[in-house]
Amino acid sequence: MDALISNLVTGLHLSSEDIQGEILFVLYKLFLLNVSQDGEYPPSLFGHISKLLHLALEVLVKAQSDDVRLNCIAFLTVIMQRGFFQTTSIIDTRGRSSYDVDHLMETNEQISDGPLVILFAEAVKGPLLSSDNQVQIAALDLLYLHLSGKDALENEIQVFVEENIADYAFEVLRLSGCKDPTIKSCIQLLDLLATAEQAFRRRLAIGFMALIPVLHHVAEIPFHPVQTETLRLIWNCIENCPGCLSLTGMLKKNLDGEIGMLPETFTPVCSIFVALMKCSSSCVISSFLLSIQDASRNCILTCLINYDKYPGQFLNSLYLLKEAYAYSCGMNPTSSINTELRRSIVDVCKAHILPWFMRSLHEMEDEDIPAAILEIFYSILLQDSDIETKIFANVLFTFSWFSFAYGCSGFFPSEKMKRKVYLIFSVMTDIIFGDDSGRCISNAAPHLPSDPLDLLFLLGYKTSQNVELTSRQLAVLLLLYISSLFDDRIADDKLVLASLEQYILLNCSENMHGDSVLGILINLYALYRGLAKVSYQIPYSPEAERIVFHLLAEKDCILLSTRIYVTSLKWLFQQEKINIHGEANQKIDVYVMAELVASGDSFLGVLMVFLLGEVGDQYSEHDIVSVVNTIKHIIEISPSASNQFCMHEIAGAIKNLYYKFGHSSSPDTFMAASELVSCILQAVHPESLSDEEPWVAIVVKIIDCLISSVAAEGWHPGTLISIGILSMVLHHSVNQVMVEASKTILLSTPLLLLVNTTIANACSKGPSLVDQDEGTRSEEALVFVLSLLFFSLRSVHDILPGIMDCHYLLDPTNVPQTCPHIIIQCHDLCKLLNFGSIPIKVYLAHLLELFSGIEDERSRKPGTLKFRTDYLLSIMAVLEGQIFSSDMTVAMNCSLYLSMLIGWQDAETEVSAIQRNSWCRFIVEELVISLAAPSLASKSFMIHHKPAIHIAVALLRRKKVPQWMTSIFDESCISAFTRNITNSNLSAELVFLSRELLNYGFLNDEQIALNQVFQDYDQRDKGIPLLCLPAGTQKMYLHRQTSTCWGKGEDIERSSASDYLVIEVFGYSKNLIICSILLSRFGILHRLVSTL
């Protein structure tokens, strides 16, 4: 026997499948006959079991013949039945020889390490994919036999699931056609694999679709052998919602096109979700809500995509969506997860269902789908306390919902559809007005027509104490009012106006309605009268107009009891016949007022200015401040309203307010007035400031109160606002408005003393300035004073030409008289620049514009401006110290004006000073190190290198460049610099620096890297010289006379080609900047750089 087994083992190593199949059959018979059911076998077989198992599994992995597979599975089945496969059965065997024990230990090690189980899992995959159903069933039964054995290891099921055996079983089940032998074997195996819960749950999510037809099949056969196992798998899907996750995943994959789904499968999926939502236990499972959210969304999107193919599915998905929304509003509706579910459903309705519905209405054949959609919308709108509901209502309004809904009821003219449309109108009214205001629409819905034109005819009847007719007319007015609020007019304007006039003539004299109804009526009337005036003329009834005006005068401003149209309010404010005496508790939307004032075609702006000018002793301070704040709020909402107020001479009203209520007697009023002036000056356009005299009076009053207030109380918010107002007046004077007011500011001696005192106090602190004042009121006051100085500097040249004495600015010790206007001296500016905090330095950096004015005077009167060299060098030293400031505005402005001062120095003095200036050398050395370093490509360097470049360029432009410049800009530095220049870090400053380096001779031909600079230059007969860069493929054309530049891909006329300079560019490399430098000699540098 031992020799036979050895020969059979050797034969299994042969490559012939036929021989392997016959040997496996022999082994099958041999083990079947020689081994008893209880596992007793001849000792000669024991030593070969391990090897036979491995060889048999390896043959099964490679076998392509179904006969070989069947023989192998039969042999393995016998092995399984005899218990040879499991390690535990071998370990339990007693009384073996030492030879047997060695093989036992070998087998035990192999199995405990796992390869035998994995090999088994790989081996059965081929048979499971066989086209022979007998082979598939045998493989499934073999797996079931092994896993159901009492000696199966606990982790083996986990291994089989992870090796995707469950996926293979689901695939066999899907292709089985619901044939019982296959169903039985698959379900039995899957039921065993399901005990590996976590691993199997993911597979179940994918394969769940295959269980649905099986469930139908086993449910129809009484006592089906796997009925229990099938239901257990379904329950496994439901318990803790992994089943819902399976359904959700199935819907998602169907939506994404990864897997298909039969139409008859879609309905049970939706029904399962709905049934689960009706189970009371599902509400405590948080993951179930997430599944519902995803499933409802995926169902809707799938049906919208496939509506043309499967229109019937849409009703199921809409039903699921409706039930999901109702479910989220059930138990604990305020929880975050329920709120999120409702938000998701509303988003689906807004983003997908609503646009599709409005687009596809006329393609629908029956009303079931439109009715279902309206039912969902109605369910959502009923939750009027939900923020998402209000947002959804506004979305419906923006989609012209009233017009569309009437079109829907007209397309499907049934009582059911009409009822749903009016119910939605009712809840939308409740959302807008609250207080159950839409009830009259829902109550009157059965008696209201589907056609909006027929609604208008209801207004043509006299109520005569008919309560039912009255309620219907009120519903009509509400529908017209709400639809018009959102510019969704449901009927022609002429017809609506005529119907309203008829209603007014017939019914308003009976005084049957409350103020709110009359407010709606008058709003509607004013709206359509205003529309008639804007677009076209419509005949109107003077008698109806008279009644409306009478109602406005009699009913204590009933107009303001409802939300008003802008067009209505505008028309009403244009009517001089109206005389309304409203009560103090009436309110009007300030946003509407802002829009009306800004439009400029109503009396509201005039009325507001008149009201402000009429305030006096009969008004309380609170009322006055309220009026002022309302005007300020209007300007904040609509800045252009300030233009209208100024054109209506609000300055005069403000002047009266300032002089009636001074700072000492009414500080709150004075503060409110100052805030209003500040708001006006910030928003107004200069051309609207034509009233000069009141502004002069306002400025005088502000200066007087500012001086006295600072002297008595120090700096506080009111004084800072006053400084801000003065600054803005000076700012507007640049546009030649408020000129006299600006002169008053500039020449005010008390204000000059205040400014000088503030500056002197700050300068006296020296180095401690930054520590003492940072973040304090003193620093804030200094910043405001510096802003006043900045705008003074800007305006003094235009307002008071020739008044600025540059000698006083640069060297006040040589000028006997003091400056008559507001200005800051250079040495004070430098002190603050050196010791001040960053906010102060930023303002001072802008004040360096002072040097531009001095430069202009030097240019106009050369030789007349003298200054001491030591004084100038001290200023330069301060500016040099700010080149490396952390604030780029400070660093950049200081570098620009330091460059200007370098050019002011006398030639002899300049050379010696610059030669001795180690700080300038340090600046240039730091620049060169940065330019040569690879960090040139970084964004931070692209910004922070600019200030230092201006200093280097200024030094290179001198007649005698400092000698140390030559040692710094050596050949190695220039080479590294040119290598680092790319299109990404190219800047105007780098171009300027490169041009100056080229002009001075620091750049040579090798570094420029040009093959030919000029070639074929034979005057005009051969055109303009051709400037070539290496291997050029990109062309640029620059007109010889106009310097116009054409970029890539733009052709020029052939007839004028000789008038252009043609540049062939190799990409966007460093050569572009060199090309730019050379082209600067033609005077077109800036055009080329901007084009690149």
Domain ranges within the chain, ordered by starting residue: 1-152, 452-584, 691-867, 868-1008, 1010-1092
- CB neighbours of 1060 closer than 8 A, spacing ≥ 6? 1023, 1024, 1037, 1038, 1039, 1040, 1046, 1052
Q: Is the dihedral of CA 416, 422, 425, 430 positive or negative?
A: negative
Instruction: Give the integer Cα–Cα distance in Å for 645 and 608.
Output: 8
Tokens linked to 225: 């052998």
841 CB-contact burial (10 Å; exposed 0-12 / middle 13-18 / buried 19+):
buried
- Candidate from 326-340, 498-512, 678-692 with smallest mean pLDDT: 498-512
pLDDT at 106: 41
pLDDT at 1045: 45
Three-class SS state of 528? helix
Place of tokens 């600006």: 742
The residue among 881 and 1016 whose pLDDT is bigger is: 881
Question: Does pLDDT of 93 surpass 50?
Answer: no
Question: Does pLDDT of 354 surpass 90?
Answer: yes
| Beta-bridge partners for 1046 | 1037
Tokens linked to 23: 């040997």
Q: What is the dihedral of CA 995, 997, 1001, 1004, to 10 degrees?
A: -80
Instruction: Give the integer Cα–Cα distance in Å for 555 and 430.
Output: 25
Instruction: Return left, alpha or beta for 157; rule: phi > 0 is left, psi -120 to 50 is alpha, else beta.
Output: alpha
Query: What percent of the chain stands above pLDDT 70?
Result: 74
Three-class SS state of 715? coil
| Beta-bridge partners for 1027 | 1063
Reported confidence tier of residue 698, pLDDT bands at 50, 70, 90: very high
Q: Was domain 1-152 assigned CATH 1.25.10?
A: yes
Reported confidence tier of residue 1054, pLDDT bands at 50, 70, 90: very low
Residue of 252, 216, 215 whose CA lies nearest to 234: 215
- For residues 325-347, one letter each, b for 16 or more C-beta atoms within 10 angstroms of the residue's C-beta and e for the rest, the string is bebbbeeeeeeeebeebbbbbbe
Q: What are phi and psi of 1064, to 5 degrees?
A: -100, 120
pLDDT at 1027: 34
Return the H-helix or E-strand segment holding 639.
Answer: none
Instruction: Give the integer Cα–Cα distance in Å for 145 and 149.
Output: 6
Instruction: Give the integer Cα–Cα distance in Å for 763 and 674.
Output: 30
Three-class SS state of 1052? coil
- Candidate from 277-281, 568-572, 1025-1029 with smallest mean pLDDT: 1025-1029
Return the H-helix or E-strand segment holding 93.
Answer: none
Q: What are phi and psi of 422, to 5 degrees?
A: -70, -30
Three-class SS state of 1028? strand
Q: What is the mean pLDDT of residues 928-941?
A: 66
Question: Does pLDDT of 274 surpass 80?
Answer: yes
pLDDT at 742: 92
Highest mean pLDDT among 245-254, 287-296, 366-375, 991-1000: 366-375
Reported confidence tier of residue 642, pLDDT bands at 50, 70, 90: very high
Q: What is the mean pLDDT of residues 491-513?
A: 81
pLDDT at 24: 83
Instruction: Give the integer Cα–Cα distance in Å for 134 and 821.
Output: 110
Reported confidence tier of residue 1005, pLDDT bands at 50, 70, 90: low
- CB neighbours of 500 closer than 8 A, spacing ≥ 6? 459, 521, 524, 525, 528, 544
Highest mean pLDDT among 570-574, 920-924, 1011-1015: 920-924
Reported confidence tier of residue 348, pLDDT bands at 50, 70, 90: very high
Q: What are phi and psi of 986, to 5 degrees?
A: -70, 130
Instruction: Give the integer Cα–Cα distance in Å for 35 and 93.
Output: 14
Instruction: Give the integer Cα–Cα distance in Å for 87 and 76.
Output: 15
Place of tokens 């640029």: 1036
- CB neighbours of 845 closer than 8 A, spacing ≥ 6? 833, 882, 887, 889, 890, 892, 893, 894
Query: What percent of the chain stands above pLDDT 90?
Result: 17
The residue among 999 and 414 whose pLDDT is bigger is: 414
Question: Does pLDDT of 879 surpass 80?
Answer: yes
pLDDT at 1019: 33
pLDDT at 152: 64
Instruction: Give the integer Cα–Cα distance in Å for 857 and 205.
Output: 85
Instruction: Give the integer Cα–Cα distance in Å for 36 and 614.
Output: 119
Residue of 442, 465, 443, 444 whose CA lies nearest to 455: 444
Look up residue 943 and give its amino acid.
Answer: I
Q: What is the mean pLDDT of residues 121-148?
A: 90
Give alpha helix (H) positions in 957-1036.
963-968, 971-980, 988-1000, 1005-1008
DSSP class of residue 353? I
Give 597-640 pLDDT, tens digit per residue.
887 766 778 878 887 887 655 667 788 888 899 999 999 999 99
pLDDT at 111: 37
Instruction: Give the integer Cα–Cα distance in Å for 1063 and 908.
Output: 43
- Candidate from 85-94, 223-232, 673-682 with smallest mean pLDDT: 85-94
pLDDT at 420: 93
Q: What is the mean pLDDT of the chain?
A: 77
DSSP class of residue 262? -
pLDDT at 94: 35
1052 CB-contact burial (10 Å; exposed 0-12 / middle 13-18 / buried 19+):
middle
pLDDT at 1018: 32
pLDDT at 55: 86
pLDDT at 46: 57
Instruction: Give the integer Cα–Cα distance in Å for 524 and 478.
Output: 10
Question: Does pLDDT of 1003 surpass 80?
Answer: no
Reported confidence tier of residue 195, pLDDT bands at 50, 70, 90: confident
Question: Does pLDDT of 808 surpass 80?
Answer: no
- Candidate from 164-173, 747-756, 830-839 with smallest mean pLDDT: 830-839
Instruction: Give the integer Cα–Cα distance in Å for 791 and 810.
Output: 20
Tally Cβ neighbours within 10 Å of residue 218: 24
- CB neighbours of 1045 closer than 8 A, spacing ≥ 6? 1036, 1037, 1038, 1039, 1084, 1087, 1088, 1091
Q: What is the mean pLDDT of residues 989-1014?
A: 65
On whether the CB atoms of residues 876 and 900 are closer than 8 A, the answer is no
Tokens linked to 94: 């007693």
Q: What is the mean pLDDT of residues 572-597?
A: 65
Tokens linked to 670: 């004075």
Q: What is the mean pLDDT of residues 1041-1066?
A: 44
Reported confidence tier of residue 207, pLDDT bands at 50, 70, 90: confident
Give alpha helix (H) positions in 492-541.
493-507, 515-535
Reported confidence tier of residue 139, pLDDT bands at 50, 70, 90: very high
Instruction: Give the integer Cα–Cα distance in Å for 12 and 909.
Output: 106
pLDDT at 1066: 37
DSSP class of residue 1060? E
The residue among 473 and 1012 whose pLDDT is bigger is: 473
- Sheet with 1027-1028, side-by-side order of all strands: 1027-1028, 1060-1065, 1034-1039, 1045-1046
pLDDT at 1085: 35
DSSP class of residue 153? -
Three-class SS state of 562? coil
Q: What is the residue-wise DSSP string for 302-333?
A: HHHHTTTT-TTHHHHHHHHHHHHHHHHTSSST
Instruction: Give the integer Cα–Cα distance in Å for 1068 and 1029.
Output: 11
Instruction: Give the integer Cα–Cα distance in Å for 404 and 414.
Output: 16
Look up residue 604 and give its amino acid.
Answer: L
Instruction: Give the integer Cα–Cα distance in Å for 1060 and 81.
Output: 96
Residue 155 sits at the vertex; the CA angle it makes with 153 and 160, to the nearest 5 degrees, is: 105
Tally Cβ neighbours within 10 Å of residue 458: 19
Instruction: Give the integer Cα–Cα distance in Å for 466 and 458.
Output: 13
Return the H-helix or E-strand segment holding 144.
Answer: helix 133-148
The residue among 312 and 512 whose pLDDT is bigger is: 312
Quote the longest CA-to-CA distance of the chain: 134
Return the H-helix or E-strand segment holding 719.
Answer: helix 717-733
Question: Does pLDDT of 1026 surpass 60?
Answer: no
pLDDT at 721: 94
- Candidate from 147-161, 346-360, 498-512, 927-941 with smallest mean pLDDT: 927-941
pLDDT at 963: 81
pLDDT at 86: 60
